[in-house]
Amino acid sequence: MLALRASGDYWVLGPLGRADDLSGAADDVDVLVIATPDAEVAKVAAAVTPREDTVVLHLSGSLPVDVLAPHPRRGSVHPLVPLPTPAVGSRRLRSGTTFTVAGDPEGVRLVGALGGRVLTVDDGDRVAYHAAATIAANHVVALLGQVERVAATAGLPFEVFGDLVRAAVDDAVALGPGAALTGPAARGDWETVTRHRDVLGAMEGGWTEVVAYDACVSLAHRLATTTTAADRLEVPV
């Protein structure tokens, strides 16, 4: 809402809440945005009386456009960027980020007003797309939470690992994940992996820490064994 207001291309009305009557939400507006959790989108759309000229958009990355039926003009816009707070979200939404768009062309116009890039994903591929997006953002952050916990056992602040994280992500984007992969699992250094598991198992909630570590070791080993030597970085970490 803040980002659209700042764009100057839309006159943005205030949001409706759970206690409001939604039946007339599409009256006298050009675009109605349903910004609810995925499980509520269809129910909210069904509570709104359809209008021939009103475009109804949802913001879900995984749901198809048809969950907005019976609205005749319907679509979806999903920003491919984390929105942790309103202020940060507003800035990022106007930073030239990518949006996936489907359905009514008003979605493309809205993204253009925000200065974003348009990515089209077919309805049949939306769940896989959203799973990838969830892993890229939510799961990476959850994994960094493990970094914070393990670092604390060594008396180290999480922030000292920031450059390492940023460099690894930059390498993965620039070179591809296979070429960017380093570390003991990539080298087959199972003695080091075992020592890591011992330390993690001794932590509070150690079983969960080891399970998460083992899953990542498995993924790293799979990536390493499916990447040719010519594609790998020369210097391991």
CATH code assigned at 196: 1.10.1040.20
Burial of 187 (0-12, 13-18, 19+ CB in 10 A): middle
User: Are 106 and 181 in a shared domain?
Assistant: no
According to the model, what pLDDT value does residue 1 have? 65
Residues 174, 91 share a domain: no
- Condensed to tens digits (0 to 9), the pLDDT of residues 191-200 reads 999 999 999 9
pTM of the predicted structure, to 2 decimals: 0.84
Of 45, 1, 9, 10, the C-alpha closest to 25 is: 45
pLDDT band at 122 (very low <50, low <70, confident <90, very high): confident
115 shares its domain with 12? yes
Which residue range(s) make up the domain with 15?
2-121
Average pLDDT of the residues of the chain: 91
Which distant-in-sequence residues (6+ apart) come within 8 Å of 131 by Cβ?
Answer: 62
Strand 117-120 vs strand 73-79: parallel, antiparallel, or unpaired?
Answer: unpaired
**Would residue 12 count as lying in a domain?**
yes
**131 and 116 part of one domain:** no
Beta pairing partners, 17: none
Amino acid at 234: E
What confidence category does residue 6 fall into, taking pLDDT thresholds of 50, 70 and 90? confident
Domain end position, chosen among 84, 99, 121: 121
pLDDT at 230 over 90: no
pLDDT band at 231 (very low <50, low <70, confident <90, very high): low
pLDDT at 113 > cutoff 70: yes
Among the ranges given (7-11, 121-125, 134-138, 149-153), the one the predictor scored with the smallest mean pLDDT: 7-11
174 pLDDT exceeds 70?
yes
Tell me the average pLDDT across 102-114.
Answer: 94
Could you tell me which residue, 237 or 216, shows the higher pLDDT? 216
Please determine, for residue 67, whether its predicted confidence score (pLDDT) is greater than 70.
yes
Domain co-membership, 9 together with 42: yes
My answer on whether 54 and 145 are in the same domain is no
Q: Is the bond leading into 70 cis (omega within 30 degrees of zero)?
A: yes
Are residues 11 and 117 located together in one domain of the fold? yes
**192 falls within a domain:** yes
Q: Would you say residue 95 has pLDDT above 70?
A: yes
pLDDT at residue number 234: 47
One domain for residues 163 and 73: no
Q: Give residue 203's pLDDT.
A: 93
Same domain, 8 and 115: yes
Mean pLDDT of 121-148: 95
- Into how many domains does the chain fold? 2
Confidence of residue 18 (pLDDT cuts 50, 70, 90): confident
What pLDDT does 128 receive? Answer: 96
